[in-house]
């Protein structure tokens, strides 16, 4: 039976303090909406595409170019511009083609989509209302918490040990149950039932996003995507589950007309 490394225990107060600060900042921006939420999402996106470039071995000059290219659609998403529009969506894919052609790196170009779509989706969800945006973001947090405690309490077979040795099937189940329960709880405050019952599916996507980023880091030979957040690593490390969840949640809101 392995024990938690002493360094991880030593980092716990730092991790807790930074985690609380992140929740406070995200919660305030979410509540304010508008410019504040767009600004936070934009700053996160600019940092994330730089971390994506590092994970794919891009040199600093190319990573900077990727940031500049992504700034165009991110700026268009501002409330004083076009917002979460088809124009912004087109510019996200425009950034992909621009980067892929200019840098001759499809992987770096893909980063514009990998980062740009979730930012666009989050801005769109917040435009539809506080509740649906909170649902999409917080169900990922609920999934993480449920997966952590179920994994610790139950243990058992590993999910994909070659990619992430700490994740278990029990953790996956715990995350799905926690996200599903959270979604149903939000129906009391008016969340449409159709969105609530989709929460378990989105929880699976969140875990898939986590595993995908773990695979990227393992392939790159690094522990974290960055070091901007003490005790937590990079922004991609914190938002890896939200990356696939936000676009799918936005599509569900569009299709179901549930906003």
User: Is-contact 132 184, C-beta < 8 A?
Assistant: no
Tokens of 57: 């071995």
**Domain ranges for the chain:** 129-259
* Total residues found in the chain within this entry: 259
What does the alpha-carbon distance between residue 163 and residue 50 come to, in Å, rounded to a whole number?
A: 23
Looking at the whole model, is its pTM more than 0.85?
yes
Matching residue, tokens 């052609």? 101
Q: What is the C-alpha separation between 24 and 20, in angstroms, rounded?
A: 6
> Band of the pLDDT at 15, cuts 50, 70, 90?
confident
pLDDT (0 to 100) of residue 163: 85
Here the tokens at position 3 are: 């024990």
Question: Residue 12: its pLDDT value, please?
Answer: 65
From residue 252, alpha-carbon distances to 67, 74, 202 in Å are 29, 22, 11
Considering only residues 32 and 160, tell me which one the structure prediction assigns the higher pLDDT.
32
| DSSP strands (E only) in the chain | 158-160, 164-168
State the DSSP string of 96-133.
HHHHHHHH--HHHHHHHHHHHHHHHHHHHHHHH-HHHH
Share of the chain above pLDDT 90, in %: 72
The pLDDT, as a whole number, for residue 64 is 97
Task: Scan for tokens 């449920």, then name that residue.
Answer: 146
Q: Which two tokens stand for residue 181?
A: 């329960």
Q: Summarize pLDDT for 154-190 with one digit per residue, the tens.
A: 878 888 888 888 888 988 999 999 999 999 999 999 9
């Amino acid at each position: 039976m392995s024990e938690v490394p002493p360094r991880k225990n030593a980092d716990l107060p730092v991790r807790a303090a930074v985690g609380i600060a992140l929740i406070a900042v995200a919660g305030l921006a979410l509540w304010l909406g508008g410019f504040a939420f767009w600004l936070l999402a934009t700053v996160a996106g600019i940092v994330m595409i730089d971390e994506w470039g590092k994970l794919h071995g891009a040199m600093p000059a190319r990573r900077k170019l990727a940031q500049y290219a992504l700034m165009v659609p991110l700026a268009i998403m501002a409330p004083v511009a076009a917002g979460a529009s088809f124009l912004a969506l087109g510019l996200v894919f425009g950034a992909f083609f621009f980067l892929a052609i200019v840098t001759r790196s499809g992987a770096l170009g893909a980063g514009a989509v990998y980062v740009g779509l979730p930012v666009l989706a989050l801005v769109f969800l917040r435009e539809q209302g506080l509740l649906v945006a909170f649902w999409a973001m917080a169900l990922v947090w609920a999934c993480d918490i449920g997966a952590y405690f179920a994994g610790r309490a139950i243990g058992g077979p590993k999910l994909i040990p070659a990619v992430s040795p700490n994740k278990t099937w029990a953790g996956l189940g715990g995350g799905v149950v926690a996200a599903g329960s959270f979604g149903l709880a939000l129906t009391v405050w008016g969340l449409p039932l159709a969105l609530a019952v989709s929460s378990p599916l989105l929880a699976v996507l969140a875990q898939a996003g986590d595993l995908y980023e773990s695979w990227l880091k393992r392939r790159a030979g690094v522990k974290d995507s960055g070091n901007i957040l003490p005790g937590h690593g990079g922004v991609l490390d914190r938002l890896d589950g939200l990356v696939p969840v936000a676009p799918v949640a936005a599509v569900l809101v569009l299709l179901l007309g549930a906003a």
